[in-house]
Chains A and B, each alone.
Chain A
Amino acid sequence: MTVANAVLQGVFLGAFYAVLACGLSIMFGVMRIINLAHGDVAVLGAYIVYVIVERTGVPAFVAFAVALPVMVLLGYVLQLTVLERSLKSGILTPLLATFGLSIVIQNLLQLVFSPDVRSLGGSAGSVTTASWQVTSGLSVSALGLLVLVVAVLLFAALQLFLSKTRAGWIMRATAEDADAAELAGIDSRSVYARATAIAVGIAALGGLFLGIRSVFDPVSGPTQLIFAFEAVVIGGMGSLWGTLLGGIALGVAQTVGAQIHPQFAVMAGHLLFLAVLIVRFGGGRLVLRTA
């Protein structure tokens, strides 16, 4: 594989990380919640798609269209029942709550689906196998391209929502100053519930791509969370376009790293993450910006 091809594959991989990271970024940006269950939520989404495919035989993309509203509703309810309460008692409580949620989801998945490895690759049609050989060293896979296009459209749609619609302004207003937003007549609880609903819906999309690209099992979540988290941090926490770029930077670091040595792939991503952490928060300022 040439370096150019490694970079290209890295962009495709990174677009997948960006989709995974998107919901994490939204929840952090709007509520300052770091959702430790985000990866498990994505895996849960993959399982729901899997069940629908198994039961009905429809293609994975159709099953996702059915799973999406379920996941969105789940996110809404999750915020109102669990996360909302935890937000009231300091910054550590939501972290603990989502950590607990992560374990609960993993155990439930173990219980219902056994630890077997599953995949959605077989039910996604020819998109999983089709590819184009551009030059001798450069190939474009249909799946990679699909994920990239969906990722760009997703981030563009969110950007439009936040900058052009009143509901988007309300979400930004609440993110910037929830107390002032309440005093301006905004129901911050309902805004938070909508934000989590969107984040969980997008996590399910990440789960769909995970299942189509590779395999998953009940404990796949934490690994996905780490990549998503690294993408968010590399891109600058709470910034949407930053998260897309951060995901792509992480993907490229991993595929280029794999050129050096196949086992170095994931480590190259971690090193990029650490480098960004040191540059951004280094020099004795190891605190999270709140702005």
Chain B
Amino acid sequence: MTLLQVEALDCRYGLLQAVRGVSFDIAQGETLALIGANGAGKTTLLRAIAGAHRPATGRVWFAGADITHMPAHRRVELGIALVSEGRRLFPSLTVEENLRVASARRRGRWNVDTVLDVFPLLKPRRHMPAATLSGGEQQAVAIGRALMSNPRLLLLDEVSLGLAPVVVDAVYRSLGDVIGEGATVLLVEQDLTRALQVAGRVVCMLEGRVVLQGEAASLDRDRVVSAYFGLRRPA
């Protein structure tokens, strides 16, 4: 079953067109990696899906309903959660408060305790302001906050950015648990190897357009790399 369908989406910042006619869809339970160079439009596309950026034209469908004009907080209620680039925690709120403000009406397995079980590094930090946490801890809170709404679709924007490799491994191990439980995930990842590892399918963007998409297993790395940098395929 198709969970998310993006149809000819255009996103602009004034005159700058950040996303140009992007179409793709994600099936229930699928993990899709969105890759592309800096400025390709990945963050903008994710924000448009989450409702934080109003697209100029095009449509977004979620579970059969047209959500193009729905505000972000209502999409969270429907089951779309975005882990923003740069984490975007509420700095003066404690870890627990950051998690609890986000618990929406959706029922499911995620609550403060189950999130802390998946991210045990947060347990001793539970009552500390988010501003005092390390980068890895903050990223765990950001992911936990998204999980609190028991999403059907989890959008992850560069969750490994600025983290030490060991921390990235830990974050992805926890994500593995989440994905293993049947969540549908759309993730932006700069690390190509990791993206191809985690995802079943890959969409590659270049200057706002989708230039390549396919099963991760079937794509050869050179083709992905040349699409990524916008190089012509060697003859």
Interface residues of A (CB under 8 A from B): 166, 169-170, 172-173, 176-177, 179-188
Contacts and interface: CB of A to CB of B under 8 A. Distances in A.
Contacts of A177: 88, 90
25 contacts: A169-B100, A172-B90, A173-B97, A173-B101, A176-B91, A177-B88, A179-B88, A180-B90, A181-B101, A182-B71, A183-B50, A183-B51, A183-B72, A183-B73, A183-B81, A183-B82, A184-B73, A184-B76, A184-B101, A184-B102, A185-B76, A185-B81, A185-B102, A185-B149, A186-B101
B3 interface: no
A180 B104 contact: no
A231 B204 CA distance: 55
A187 B92 CA distance: 20
Given A180-B88, A183-B82, A188 B101 contact: no
B161 interface: no
Interface in B86-100: 88-93, 97-98, 100
B175 interface: no
B90 A173 contact: yes
A187 B72 CA distance: 8
B90 A186 contact: no
Contacts of A172: 90, 92-93
A183 B101 contact: no
B103 to A, nearest CB: 8
B52 A182 contact: yes
Contacts of B72: 182-183
Interface string B95-119: 0011011101000000000000000
Given A173-B101, A176-B92, A183-B52, 11 more contacts: A166-B101, A172-B92, A177-B90, A179-B88, A181-B90, A181-B101, A182-B51, A184-B76, A185-B77, A185-B149, A188-B73
A187 B102 CA distance: 11
B145 interface: yes
A183 B76 contact: yes
B84 interface: yes
- Name A's interface SS: helix
Nearest to B94: A169
Contacts of B82: 183
A92 to B, nearest CB: 19
Contacts of B149: 184-185
Contacts of B52: 179, 182-183
Q: Which of B72, B89, B145, B149 has the most CB of A within 10 A?
A: B72
Contact of A166 (B71, B89, B100): B100
A240 to B, nearest CB: 13
B101 A187 contact: no
Interface in B136-162: 145-146, 149
Contacts of A181: 90, 101
Q: Which of A169, A172, A182, A183 has the most CB of B within 10 A?
A: A183
B84 A170 contact: no
B76 A173 contact: no
Q: Report the 5 A-B pairs with minimum CB-CB distance, sorted nearest first.
A: A185-B76, A184-B102, A182-B72, A180-B88, A185-B104
Contacts of B84: 180, 183
A175 B93 CA distance: 11
A87 to B, nearest CB: 14
A235 B29 CA distance: 53
Contacts of A166: 100-101
Contacts of B73: 182-188
A186 B104 CA distance: 8
Q: Which of A166, A179, A185 has the most CB of B within 10 A?
A: A185
B133 to A, nearest CB: 15
B214 to A, nearest CB: 30
A185 B97 CA distance: 14
A169 B93 contact: yes
Nearest to A163: B97
